[in-house]
């Protein structure tokens, strides 16, 4: 799967399209190259089919890589934990790196979250490492794994994205999970009535109840927008930064097929952008983790504590 085999726009489109599996209505697709005699479940062969599948579709590549990297995280940290329990000496190598990550996350949680909840620290660690591993896939050359998948499947036009965080379904899924936990803990700590009061009596509040009758609708609109904006901004921030980074790598890859001079320049640009991108992938994992901790702290804050 090389830049010469496709036009530049086709190459970009191919690399930014997910391997989509869904229910496709009967009809003719992909400029007549693929015909569905009757509706059925299949892999999308082009953008037209991806759009036709609608909501009843799943991105197999994003889901698969998310699960694989999550399993790698669990296996790696469990292995280090067992080794640390068996060896009482000074940590070295991988064990030292894992303990540094745990200490860093634990320190961040202690600085932000001043309540008692045994879920927050493990969740913060999981979010940071899991997102970092998914972001790290962006540093692999853009053609390696897609080309390998196309070779194994025998389909040279197979769609195969390897960076789960360039898929808004993944980032928004994680963000809304954090959002639902925030709402759950808000109701648990403040009660259903307290949660409703938080949405209706802030930011504007009058000492006379009859003034609040007019302020409640305004507060509800403002607080509801602020509440819903949290998961959307959390997910789209991560998606936008990684999608832009992936796009730049794809654009640099196109330069390799434009002659020796541009190919040499592409090598320099790819190295420079990869070095800079290490900071981006780490920072985005950190930001997602910190905002999650902040939201959990906000959920546990009750008026009596201020």
Strand partners, 23: 41
3-class secondary structure for 10-35? HHHHHHCCCCEEEEECCEEECCCCEE
CA–CA distances in Å: residue 223 to residues 119, 202, 211, 219, 235: 26, 7, 18, 6, 19
Segment 122-125 long-range contacts (CB within 8 Å, at least 24 positions apart): 123/181, 123/292, 123/296, 124/289, 124/292, 124/293, 125/101
- Exactly one of 117, 169, 212, 237 is catalytic; which is it? 237
What is the rounded CA–CA span in Å between residue 302 and residue 32? 61
Of the candidates 153, 138, 141, 103, the residue with the CA atom closest to the CA atom of residue 124 = 103
Q: Is 219 marked active-site?
A: no
Of the candidates 119, 118, 124, 115, the residue with the CA atom closest to the CA atom of residue 189 = 115
**187: its two tokens:** 């109701």
**51: its two tokens:** 């759009």
**30: its two tokens:** 């992909």
- Exactly one of 18, 66, 219, 241 is catalytic; which is it? 241
Cβ neighbour number for residue 102 with a 10 Å cutoff: 16
What is the rounded CA–CA span in Å between residue 141 and residue 102? 30
Q: Is 233 marked active-site?
A: yes
What is the rounded CA–CA span in Å between residue 152 and residue 148? 6
Q: Is 237 marked active-site?
A: yes
Where are any strands of DSSP class E within the chain?
Answer: 20-24, 27-29, 34-36, 40-43, 57-59
**149: its two tokens:** 């998948």
The residues assigned a catalytic role are 233, 237, 241
């Amino acid at each position: 799967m090389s830049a010469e085999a496709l036009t530049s726009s086709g190459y970009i489109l191919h690399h930014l399209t997910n391997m989509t599996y869904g229910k496709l209505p009967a009809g003719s697709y992909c400029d007549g190259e693929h015909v569905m005699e009757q509706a059925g479940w299949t892999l999308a062969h082009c953008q037209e089919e991806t759009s036709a599948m609608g909501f009843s579709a799943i991105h197999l590549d994003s889901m698969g890589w998310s699960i694989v990297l999550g399993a790698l995280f669990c296996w790696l940290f469990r292995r280090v934990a067992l080794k640390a329990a068996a060896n009482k000496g000074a940590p070295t190598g991988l064990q030292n790196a894992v303990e540094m990550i745990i200490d860093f996350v634990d320190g961040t949680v202690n600085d932000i979250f001043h309540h008692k909840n045994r879920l927050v620290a493990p969740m913060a660690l999981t979010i940071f490492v899991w997102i970092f591993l998914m972001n790290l896939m962006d540093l692999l050359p853009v053609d390696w794994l897609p080309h390998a998948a196309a070779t194994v499947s025998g389909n040279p036009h197979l769609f195969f994205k390897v960076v789960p965080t360039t898929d808004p379904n993944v980032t928004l899924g994680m963000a809304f999970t954090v959002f639902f936990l925030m709402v759950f803990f808000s109701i648990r700590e403040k009660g259903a009535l307290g949660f409703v009061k938080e949405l209706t009596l802030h930011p504007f509040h009058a000492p006379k109840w009859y003034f609040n009758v007019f302020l409640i609708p305004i507060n509800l609109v403002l607080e509801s927008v602020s509440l819903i904006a949290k998961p959307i901004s959390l997910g789209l921030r991560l998606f936008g930064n990684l999608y832009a980074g992936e796009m730049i790598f794809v654009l640099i890859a196109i330069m390799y097929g434009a002659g020796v001079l541009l190919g040499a320049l592409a090598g320099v640009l790819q190295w420079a952008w990869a070095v800079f991108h290490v900071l981006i992938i780490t920072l985005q994992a950190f930001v997602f983790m910190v905002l999650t901790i902040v939201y959990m702290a906000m959920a546990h804050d009750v008026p009596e504590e201020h």
